[in-house]
Amino acid sequence: MHSGSCHCGEVRFQVEVDLANPITCNCSYCQRRGSILAFTPAQNFELEAGDGSLSEYRFNTNKIQHLFCSTCGMESFARGAMPDGTEMVAVNVRCLEDVNIAALTPTQHDGRSS
């Protein structure tokens, strides 16, 4: 279980997520953000604070609900569905409080070609 938040702390959450296989993505959005993503089923994610402070951005296929804090602008997570329809949350690992980013070995996902 990990605790996470946006930069200003307005949006806070708890998440159970496996950090063994995080990804980075080269799509036009992710490349600019520079986040490291880990995916988990939606039931493993609990938004503790900040629901009213979230703004949404969708692009391309409009299937992923990119959510960011309207105060500090940080996207700490996004909501979407796996190919089989299972609801999931993509967590920006850089927003987790207890993770050593240097110890991770993210796989590059070619989102630009997807």
**At residue 18, does pLDDT exceed 80?**
yes
**pTM for this prediction:** 0.88
**At residue 114, does pLDDT exceed 80?**
no
Closest CA relative to residue 14, chosen from 88, 96, 99: 96
Task: Report the CATH number of the 2-108 domain.
Answer: 2.170.150.70
Sign of the CA dihedral running 21, 26, 29, 35 = positive
Task: Give the pair of three-digit tokens for residue 72.
Answer: 């500090």
Q: Which CA distances in Å does 22 have to 67, 71, 77?
A: 19, 27, 13
Average pLDDT of the residues of the chain: 92
- For the chain, which residues make up each domain, given as ranges? 2-108
- What pLDDT does 107 receive? 86
Q: Confidence class of residue 82 from pLDDT cuts 50, 70 and 90?
A: confident
pLDDT tens for residues 55-76?
A: 988 887 778 899 999 999 999 9
